[in-house]
């Protein structure tokens, strides 16, 4: 595995710019290669890098791994932990990269991803210099031309433009154009567009919430990119909440709060992802509160994402929660079947591959929980078909996704149950974890708990945990109540029967 990683790193080093290579590839640590499952585990040093390499480099690394191991390989990225060994450094530059698949760059076979190397403090300490006029002009030119960092652009200009994007930490590939819309996200998208067109004056803050892998991060990057395209000098910053916490800690250690405040309070648009990570971090919450107040007072836009809606956030100060609630709050729900198909077709098109509709339907029918999972499945199918020199058909798809499908068919997950029951009763999935108790929510939630107990191997405490950290006695009460009611009420019994059939597929 280490030999593979060295060759892989060398190849990527040749394909990427030195900045991209040292920002994204060098810090990765190969952990293990599972021969039986053909899974390569790779550690990334933080969540931000993990997300970035997963979205931008996993396709390329998987294709290099497939060549090396002579079979399709799945790459799984995980967060680095302190026990990690030092990253493997590739040996001195080698002349011959591994035979490439023809597209010569990472991810999607189109533009090379733009990197965002770490600033020394974790936040760019030079907020004003960050938008000095020369760089801003360069970025303006770059945004008038296709998008920044075209390899062919004059070096200085491109690197100035890159600088603007690096400081914003935006992923320029996450745009409104490639964000597929459906019932599950249309409100959120409309709100995002509105905010992108009228930053600071329409909904402030805009608070987007929903389960994992549903497109929250994509949407807020799209807002940032749209704003930068309008005004390249805009001071935009995307930050994951964990990174913000780490910035606060570093500022504390270095007694650099003035710089910290100056930077965050001077932004035009602050995009902060997964705010639930602020839970219990009081000093961070305090600093964020000041930044929030300062930005809103100046009519600068704040956009926040979370896995749940403001009132459900635990360990967050009430005054922050009431601020989060003061703008517009929008849910992103799991995509319905047609939308999942549309997403697959769009992703395949981006890869320059024709995906037959029946294959897209097949994948979408079997993988229901989130878009990230769909993307992974599509990558797997494409790699498998390419490697075996076969056309992309449902049969190829069945072979390529054998493991995934047996899991998703054979094992009913609590997540599936929550989604299916929420769809059936037309409530939000988030209500499955919420503390709200109106009868139209409480009953479906109890039904979902009952089905989780009936159809999965999970224990009562585990189920309670998956339903927003509820006590096992609450689950037990739900299970007893629903099984008793089922025996007496034909209508409820019928609904449960339909739900069970749906879940068993
Ligand atoms: N509607 C969509 N259209 C196109 N791609 C999408 C859509 N929704 C999600 N994706 C893609 O799915 C992947 C996961 O989305 P994203 O990272 O935005 O999820 P998230 O909601 O922020 O998840 P998490 O809570 O885990 O951070 C990304 O590659 C994103 O581009």
381-403 per-position pLDDT tens digit: 999 999 999 999 999 999 999 87
Lookup result for tokens 């600093």: 287
| Residue 165: pLDDT band with limits 50, 70, 90 | low
Q: Ligand 1: which of 108, 213, 274 to mutate, most ligand atoms within 8 Å of CB?
A: 213
Q: From ligand 1's centre to the CA of 207, what distance in Å?
A: 16
* Closest to 122 measured CA to CA, from 244, 276, 297: 244
% of the chain at pLDDT higher than 70: 81
Tell me the average pLDDT across 2-27.
84
Q: From ligand 1's centre to the CA of 23, what distance in Å?
A: 22
Cβ(25)–Cβ(13) below 8 Å:
yes
Say what the pTM is.
0.59
**Mind listing the pLDDT tens digit for each residue in 410-454?**
568 899 899 989 988 888 889 998 887 787 899 999 999 999 998
**Mind listing the pLDDT tens digit for each residue in 83-96?**
433 333 333 333 33
Per-residue pLDDT, 104: 32
pLDDT: which is higher, 153 or 386:
386
User: Could you tell me if the CB of 371 is within 6 A of ligand 1?
Assistant: yes
Tell me the average pLDDT across 462-466.
93
For 163-321, where are the E strands, in sequence order?
206-210, 236-240, 269-273, 301-306
pLDDT: which is higher, 143 or 378:
378
State CA 218 to chain mean position distance. 7
- Residue 217 labeled ligand binder: yes
User: Could you tell me if the CB of 143 is within 6 A of ligand 1?
Assistant: no
Q: From ligand 1's centre to the CA of 431, what distance in Å?
A: 21
DSSP H or E stretch at residue 415:
helix 414-424
Cβ(114)–Cβ(148) below 8 Å:
yes
For ligand 1, atom 6: residue with the closest CA = 215
- Residue 215 labeled ligand binder: yes
Per-residue pLDDT, 366: 84
Q: From ligand 1's centre to the CA of 214, what distance in Å?
A: 5
pLDDT, mean over the chain: 81
Tell me the average pLDDT across 282-292.
94
Per-residue pLDDT, 185: 93
Going from the N-terminus, what domains does the chain have, and what CATH number goes with each? 2-79 (3.30.300.180), 169-332 (3.40.50.300), 337-410 (1.10.8.60), 414-504 (1.10.1750.10)
Cβ(55)–Cβ(137) below 8 Å:
no
% of the chain at pLDDT higher than 90: 47
Q: From ligand 1's centre to the CA of 372, what distance in Å?
A: 6
Lookup result for tokens 């409104």: 176
Tell me the average pLDDT across 236-263.
91
User: Could you tell me if the CB of 431 is within 6 A of ligand 1?
Assistant: no
Hey, what are 158's tokens?
């491109």
CA 16/CA 103 separation, integer angstroms: 12
Per-residue pLDDT, 87: 37
Per-residue pLDDT, 341: 95
Per-residue pLDDT, 148: 33
Whether residue 273 has pLDDT greater than 90: yes
CA 424/CA 473 separation, integer angstroms: 25
For ligand 1, atom 1: residue with the closest CA = 180
Assess: ipTM above 0.85. yes
């Amino acid at each position: 595995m280490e030999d593979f990683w060295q060759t892989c790193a060398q190849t990527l080093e040749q394909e990427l710019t030195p900045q991209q290579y040292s920002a994204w590839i060098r810090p990765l640590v190969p952990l293990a290669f599972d021969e039986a499952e053909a899974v390569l585990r790779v550690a990334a040093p933080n969540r931000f890098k993990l997300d970035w390499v997963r979205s931008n480099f996993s396709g390329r690394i998987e294709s290099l791994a497939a060549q090396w191991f002579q079979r399709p390989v799945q790459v799984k990225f995980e967060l680095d932990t302190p026990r990690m060994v030092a990253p493997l450094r590739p040996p001195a530059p080698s002349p011959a990269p591994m035979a490439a698949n023809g597209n010569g760059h990472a991810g999607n076979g189109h533009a090379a991803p733009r990197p965002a190397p770490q600033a020394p403090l974790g936040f760019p300490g030079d907020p004003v210099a960050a938008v000095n006029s020369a760089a801003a002009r360069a970025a303006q030119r770059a945004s008038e031309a296709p998008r920044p960092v075209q390899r062919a652009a004059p070096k200085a200009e491109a690197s100035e433009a890159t600088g603007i994007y690096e400081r914003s930490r935006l992923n320029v590939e996450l745009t409104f154009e490639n964000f597929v819309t459906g019932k599950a996200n249309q409100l959120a998208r409309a709100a995002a567009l509105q905010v992108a067109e009228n930053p600071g004056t329409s909904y402030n803050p805009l608070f987007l919430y929903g389960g994992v892998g549903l497109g929250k991060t994509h949407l807020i990057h799209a807002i940032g990119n749209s704003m930068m395209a309008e005004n390249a000098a805009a001071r935009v910053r995307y930050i994951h909440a964990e990174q913000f916490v780490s910035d606060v800690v570093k500022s504390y250690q270095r007694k650099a709060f003035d710089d910290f405040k100056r930077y965050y309070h001077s932004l035009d648009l602050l995009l902060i992802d997964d705010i639930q990570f602020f839970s219990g971090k009081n000093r961070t919450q305090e600093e964020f509160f000041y930044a929030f107040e300062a930005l809103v007072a100046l009519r600068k836009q704040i956009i926040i994402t979370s896995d749940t809606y403001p009132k459900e956030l635990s360990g967050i100060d009430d005054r922050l929660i009431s601020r989060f609630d003061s703008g517009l709050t929008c849910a992103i729900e799991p995509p319905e079947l047609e939308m999942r198909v549309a997403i697959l077709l769009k992703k395949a098109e981006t890869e320059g591959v024709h995906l037959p509709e029946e294959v897209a339907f097949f994948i979408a029918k079997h993988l229901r929980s989130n878009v990230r999972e769909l993307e992974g499945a599509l990558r797997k199918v494409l790699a498998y078909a390419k490697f075996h020199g076969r056309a992309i058909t449902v049969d190829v798809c069945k072979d390529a996704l054998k493991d995934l499908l047996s899991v998703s068919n054979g094992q009913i997950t609590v997540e599936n149950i929550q989604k299916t029951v929420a769809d059936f009763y037309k409530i939000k999935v988030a209500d499955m974890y919420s503390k709200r108790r109106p009868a139209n929510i409480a009953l479906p939630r109890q039904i979902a708990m009952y089905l989780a107990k009936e159809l999965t191997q999970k224990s009562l405490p585990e189920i309670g945990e998956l339903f927003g950290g509820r006590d096992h006695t609450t689950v037990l009460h739900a299970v007893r109540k629903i099984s008793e009611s089922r025996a007496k009420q034909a209508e409820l019994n019928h609904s449960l029967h339909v739900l069970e059939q749906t879940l068993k597929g």
